[in-house]
Structure 1
Amino acid sequence: MTSKFDKAHWLAFLLPAALLAGAYVSQYAGGLFPCEMCWWQRYPHFAAVAITLIAFGVGNKGYRKALVALAALAIATSGLIGGFHAGVEYGFWEGLTACTATISGSGDDLLKSIMNAPLVRCDVAPWTLFGISLAGYNFLLSFGGAMLILAMIWRSKKI
């Protein structure tokens, strides 16, 4: 019989692994190349996968629980970055200047702006489904999944 904690551990491993797989499939099979903020969302998922793999090998149940909770926090971090990125895409707030492009000013400024523009802009959603961008889905799945994992850990009385 699988405990709630074991389910939380597997979810903490499978969720970021599946989201990373989806990101790479959309990149290499779908041609949706990541912007800078898209990469930022991947790094915490890499960390979560590594942490949960380490936790599978840890014998001490208290340390294992702490590692899975840490992985959940990494997943939540990716979700929060995704939420910020989605807000930039929807125009709720401005993104970082290194990741967005605005064109204004004199001819020289216009040329500099064009030459310094990122290849993949962070303020334009390259794909949406039901009005939600990939960054928005990352926010929903990662943050929601992290809260579920933490709740499952909290509710597991015995490991």
Structure 2
Amino acid sequence: MSFLDRFTAKGLIVLAAATSAAILGGAFIFQALGYAPCKMCLWQRWPHAIAVVLGGAALATQRRLLSWLGALNMTVSAGLGIFHSGVERKWWDGPASCSGGGVGDLSVEDLLAQINQAPLVRCDEIPWRMSDMIPLEFLDLTMANFNAIISLGLIVLWVCAARKTG
């Protein structure tokens, strides 16, 4: 009997959704501490927000499909985390623009004011890594790395929940 076999489908869903909620909370805490998120960091928050909603819906309805959607959703999250990790490590190129939005109907003055007020956050720079706190090389993990690793674990939780849900 594995560790996850001890949980009911409901327990697995609660654990998965609560973990996503904790990741979101952690992201907002880092942001409050002055670590402004890049565009890819913001992208990585969406699957976790969706997971919280899916968790609530899955608990309310006991539908197996919602657990499978949770697993698919976390696959997207893991993919985003892996992609962002590669961009940070300069293994591949990321998006050409990692901050700002469309120009729309802004005047030149309004656009310049918006640019000057917005923090410039690059997706290919690492603002924080675990090895800054604990000086061990194998702990050279970034927030994107943690998102990828935790999201891979959450896929397992959602799949186990889906297999147990009736």
- TM-score range (shorter-chain normalised) is 0.7 to 0.9
Are the equivalent residues in 2 in contact too, given 1:76–1:143 (CA < 8 A)? yes
The structure 1 segments of at least 4 consecutive aligned residues displaced by more than 6 Å after TM superposition are: none
Give the counterpart of 2:40 among 25, 37, 42.
37
Q: 1:11 to 1:73 in 2, by over 3 A?
A: farther
Give the whole-Å Cα distance in 2 for the aligned partners of 1:65 and 1:15.
Answer: 20
Which residue is equivalent to 1:57?
A: 60
| Superimposed CA distance per residue, residues 73-125 of structure 1 (whole angstroms, 9 cap, x where no aligned partner) | 2122112101100100011111111128xxxxxxxxxxxxxx89x71000001
Which residue is equivalent to 1:120?
A: 121
Q: Please list every run of 5 or more consecutive structure 1 residues that lacks an aligned counterpart in the other structure.
A: 101-114
What secondary structure sits across from 1:132 in the alignment? coil
Provide the aligned length of Structure 1 versus Structure 2: 137
Once the two structures are TM-superposed, the CA of residue 3 in structure 1 deviates from its matched residue by 4.8
Q: Please list every run of 5 or more consecutive structure 2 residues that lacks an aligned counterpart in the other structure.
A: 1-5, 100-114, 131-138
TM-score normalised to the size of structure 2? 0.74
Which residue is equivalent to 1:82?
A: 81
Give the whole-Å Cα distance in 2 for the aligned partners of 1:68 and 1:96.
Answer: 31
What percentage of residue pairs aligned between the two structures are identical? Answer: 37
Q: What is the identity, as a one-letter code, of the residue corresponding to 2:49?
A: F
2:20 pairs with 1:16:
yes
Q: What is the identity, as a one-letter code, of the residue corresponding to 2:60?
A: G
Once the two structures are TM-superposed, the CA of residue 128 in structure 1 deviates from its matched residue by 0.4
